[in-house]
Amino acid sequence: MFLLRYIRPGLRAGFLFLPLLLFATRQPQGGQPDDIRPVVRQWLDRATAAVSHRRADSVTYYLNRALDVSRRSGSGREQMLSHYRAAKIFQEIDAYSRANEQYAAAQHWAHQLHDTLTSVDLLIDRSYLYDYWQMRDSASAFLSRAFDMAHRAGYRKGKARAALLLGNMYWAEHKAGQALEYYRQAYDIARNIPDSTGMAAALQNIGLCLAQNGDDAGALEHFKRSAGILQKIPSKRLTLAGAYGNLALLYARQGDKAGSFAYLNRAMDIYRRYGNAEQKAIGYHTYARCLYELKNYSLSNRYLDSCVALARDNRFGLMLQSALHQYFLNKKKAGDYRGALDFAEKYMRVKDSLSTRKYHRQLAELNVKYKTRERQHQIRQLQLAKRQERARFRYLLVASVLLLLTFLATGYVLVQKRKIARLQWEKIRLEAKNLSDELARKNKQLSEHALHMLHKNELLSGILKRLEALIDAPPGQDREHLKQLQGEIRKMLRADKDWEVLSRHFERINEDFVRKIRSVNPHISTNDLRLATLMKMNLTNKEIAQLLNINYQSVKNAQYRLKQKLNLAPGENLRVFLASL
């Protein structure tokens, strides 16, 4: 079971100890570089160059420029390939959320272009992100969909890649039987293509499953066959080193020191000559594991020292965690329990630190994934709306032709009707203006007549006062004559002629006023109507007293009686009520 204990932590961390599983067949098959214009390809190449210098800001800037140029004037295929390549570059600088967005955009265009091959490759590559986010269900769903699409389209290489990665998913979930089934499918497809790299990857993974099931002989046979294929592919030297490491571990498990060291030395030679710091650390860790199985704990610790140093210097957290755990096992087996306890504490501290960072990273990634899913939902809604719009357009096209003919036939009639309507509107406007002018003139006459009556009554009131003074004069004057004159003036003040003229003018302007008052109280008197008319004309109480030749208090009393006859509440204003009629 030592192989299982050694490999499974790496699988949970993105297959750290099995680079073959990650890099064996990852190149996209759909589309060609020539489908991207030189200006877009230039920005993408600059982004790729910036990755090697670890300039994340520059990478993002160059990719945004490339995508912007492609979006503004590129074809659908160019945009698909630009998004695809941008996703791969974002993934290289660990900008997984941005990579996921670009994969989604590329998938949208692949669907629009009915490019099944690229759709399969996109689903497979996107599954790596969801496996990294520990969303195994989503990753498996992507791979199953890619497997089915590739099978229907006859895309054998895509089907082999999907089968290989589905096997990895089941392997990570400790389901070796189902993993073995997919690995064998991947091997059969790769052999028929033929694809040497795919065959080697499948054989290596089949060997791991057989080793887990205790079939060491079968595992050894498959490991050797895989190594034999990889020896003929110069570009897969580092993958070959991983295969040598698996063979060394298998021989160490069987206690074959010579066989184990033979393959260990080959693997370490490749790692030292061609590998980077992380791959060298993997080599040292493999050496230490083999020495642990051979019970040489002190020498195992020396290789672990080199592994820990590289892991610390290059911040390989998972490798540091695995190395410290191996230190713990070495100390425990050697009987150094105090040292074992010390390394167990270091191992737990590193593990907790990695878990905390991973937790915060996942929180940020979940937020971005939520937004990405919302955007995908919006894209699906837009696609549905677009299909509905196309169907609607076909129906509207026929209707539009018929409507156009109708519009042409009735256009002249509508123009003529518009002209007639315009003339009628001008006529109505002129009539309304004339009526308004007439109303203004009538109102002016009414006001002038009311002022004339007011002025006349003021004059007559003055004459009456002087005559009253003459009546009180000494005897000897013509008192009888003056009394007769006094009577005639009083009679003139009570004359209704001026009031009739005023009332006639008022009724012409306010035709419904008297009718509305009588509808409230049919038994209202003529004097009350006079008072209401003068208040409607907005005359003051003083002016009303002069026109009616009564005092101010009499006007107030008359208003009070009128308010009662009109059934108004105590708080209601009589003038406001009359103005509203």
Rg (CA), the chain: 52
Query: In the chain, how long is the greatest CA-to-CA distance?
Result: 172
- The values of phi and psi at residue 512, to 5°, are -95, 0
Per-residue pLDDT band at 8 (split at 50, 70, 90):
very low
Average pLDDT of the segment spanning 362-381: 60
Tell me the per-residue pLDDT of 50-73, one tens digit each, with 9 for 90 and over. Answer: 887 777 788 888 888 888 888 887
Residues 34, 166: contact at Cβ < 8 Å? Answer: no
- Give dist(CA 366, CA 313) in Å, integer: 30
> Pick from 527, 533, 545: which is nearest to 578 by CA?
533
Residues 80, 109: contact at Cβ < 8 Å? Answer: yes
Residues 493, 460: contact at Cβ < 8 Å? Answer: yes
- Class (C level, CATH) for 511-581: mainly alpha
Tell me the per-residue pLDDT of 199-216, one tens digit each, with 9 for 90 and over. Answer: 998 999 998 888 888 888
The total of other beta-carbon atoms located within 10 Å of residue 546's CB is 20
**Which of 32-41, 542-551, 564-573 holds the top average pLDDT?**
564-573
- The values of phi and psi at residue 256, to 5°, are -90, 90
> Pick from 572, 510, 573, 569: which is nearest to 537 by CA?
510
Tell me the per-residue pLDDT of 131-175, one tens digit each, with 9 for 90 and over. Answer: 888 788 889 999 999 999 999 999 999 999 999 999 988 888 888
Average pLDDT of the segment spanning 478-495: 62
- In 70-227, the DSSP E strands lie at none
- pLDDT reported for residue 87: 92
SS3 475: strand
Report residue 299 as tokens. Answer: 């020498």
- pLDDT reported for residue 14: 34
SS3 14: coil
Per-residue pLDDT band at 571 (split at 50, 70, 90):
confident
Report residue 226 as tokens. Answer: 């895989």
**Mean of per-residue pLDDT scores for the chain:** 79
Tell which wins on pLDDT, 396 or 438: 396
Report residue 107 as tokens. Answer: 């998938």
- pLDDT reported for residue 213: 84
- pLDDT reported for residue 155: 93
Where do the structural domains in the chain lie, given as residue ranges? Answer: 1-19+120-232, 31-114, 511-581
- Looking at the chain, the whole-number percentage of residues with pLDDT higher than 90 is 15
Tell which wins on pLDDT, 11 or 101: 101
- pLDDT reported for residue 29: 45
- Looking at the chain, the whole-number percentage of residues with pLDDT higher than 70 is 77
Per-residue pLDDT band at 323 (split at 50, 70, 90):
confident
- pLDDT reported for residue 154: 92
- Give dist(CA 152, CA 144) in Å, integer: 12
The total of other beta-carbon atoms located within 10 Å of residue 306's CB is 17
Long-range contacts of 36-39 (CB under 8 A, 24+ apart): 36/70, 36/78, 36/81, 36/82, 36/85, 37/69, 37/70, 37/74, 37/78, 39/69
Tell me the per-residue pLDDT of 276-290, one tens digit each, with 9 for 90 and over. Answer: 888 888 988 998 899
pLDDT over threshold 90, residue 403: no
- pLDDT reported for residue 31: 45
Average pLDDT of the segment spanning 80-84: 91
- pLDDT reported for residue 565: 87
Name the CATH superfamily housing domain 1-19+120-232.
Tetratricopeptide repeat domain (1.25.40.10)
What is the phi-psi region of residue 567: left when phi exceeds 0, alpha when psi lies from -120 to 50, beta otherwise?
Answer: left
- Give dist(CA 174, CA 136) in Å, integer: 13
Helices (runs of H) and strands (runs of E) counted in the chain: 25, 0
Report residue 197 as tokens. Answer: 């790299």
- Give dist(CA 124, CA 135) in Å, integer: 14
Which DSSP category does 235 fall into? G
Cβ-based burial of 226 (10 A; exposed 0-12, middle 13-18, buried ≥19): buried
Average pLDDT of the segment spanning 495-508: 59
- pLDDT reported for residue 494: 54
- C-alpha distances (whole Å) from 129 to each of 170, 361, 554 are 17, 13, 99
Cis bond upstream, residue 570 (ω within 30):
no
Tell which wins on pLDDT, 529 or 126: 126
pLDDT over threshold 80, residue 360: no
- pLDDT reported for residue 6: 36
